[in-house]
Structure 1
């Protein structure tokens, strides 16, 4: 299933529109809504709730220069995303409902414009490593990494919540800190 359509997008699906070279920000309302959807999906242990923050399938089909990008998207990317949402929920433990999202940091100064051919891609996009989701739980501030975000039309989306590549399909929380 593809992420929810973006409000205000003429086609209802941002992935059906052409890419732009607009560098995303982490203060954009759409980005913040996506982060909140991701957090709610983790708290509720429900990957479906977190899909609005995941890179749109229709954009992935445009970007990737691989055989059957839809199959790769559904089976590998969404498969790992689901496993990672469950792993993050387990990290929160029995107090998941009491954990509160503080925010997300994106090191925009480290974003790179990836040219075609760089990552089995046929279109360019911005990619950034080092984003972190911060939350409080039990009076402590904690965080974990978002392995990589990539851009589509000036918006950041998660493409790998946990590390990529992985030797086997196991959910992983990337660089948790207590």
Structure 2
């Protein structure tokens, strides 16, 4: 089971945050599920195309949407942290979620930040594990009817 205290996890969270602040999805990629892992995990036709077009496409749109949520205060917003409800993590066996190998999946993670003296947060729709690390696989909700950037469960 991945932890949230691992330096690699914390670096990934910081990369996601910086990508959101800078409106630069490429900066946020260290916290996104790796393509090489996706190709090994998924049992679907053309997983490479799905990864690049659907997953990265939505992640890019969602990073831009999160930046818009921060608005003019983006550069002054400060990351507080990410909570991952480990008790809600589920072991997904082969055959579940169109996968060839097992992994942990968790819903309910939240990124918390301060902006203008107020504490705010939004959800990370789902994280999955790979080699003992959590990665975002869906920043916004999945599935969704059309390709628009979405901030999941914004609060504050």
What is the TM-score when the length of structure 2 is the normalising length? 0.99
Runs of 4+ in 1 over 4 A off after TM superposition: none
1:145 pairs, out of 117, 123, 128, with 123
SS at match of 1:55: coil
Higher helix proportion, which one?
2
State which of 138, 162, 167 in structure 1 corresponds to 2:140. Answer: 162
Q: What is residue 95 of structure 1 aligned with on the other side?
A: 73
- Equivalent residue of 1:119, what SS? helix
Distance 1:117 1:78 in 2: 23
Per the alignment, residue 116 of structure 1 pairs with 94
- Aligned equivalent of 2:7: 29
Alpha-carbon shift at residue 117 of structure 1 (Å): 1.2
Residues 50-83 of structure 1 show CA distances to partners (whole Å, capped at 9, x for unaligned) of 0000000000000000011000000000000000
How far apart are residue 35 of structure 1 and its match? 0.1
Partner of 1:53: 31
Give TM-score, length-normalised by structure 1.
Answer: 0.87
Q: Secondary structure at the match of 2:120?
A: strand
Which residue in the other structure is 2:110 paired with? 132
Matched, 1:171 2:154: no
CA distance in structure 1 between the partners assigned to 2:70 and 2:103 by the alignment: 32
Q: In structure 2, what is the Cα distance between the partners aligned to 1:44 and 1:60?
A: 26
Residues in 2 aligned to 1:153 and 1:52: alpha-carbon distance in whole angstroms: 14
Equivalent of residue 45 in structure 2, options 58, 67, 70:
67
How far did 1:116 drift? Answer: 1.0
- 1:63-106 deviations in whole A, cap 9, x for unaligned? 00001100000000000000000000000001100000000000
Equivalent pairs, count = 156
What is the aligned-residue RMSD (CA, Å)? Answer: 0.3
Task: Note the residue ranges of structure 2 that are not aligned, 5 or more in a row.
Answer: none
3-state SS in 1 of match to 2:96: coil
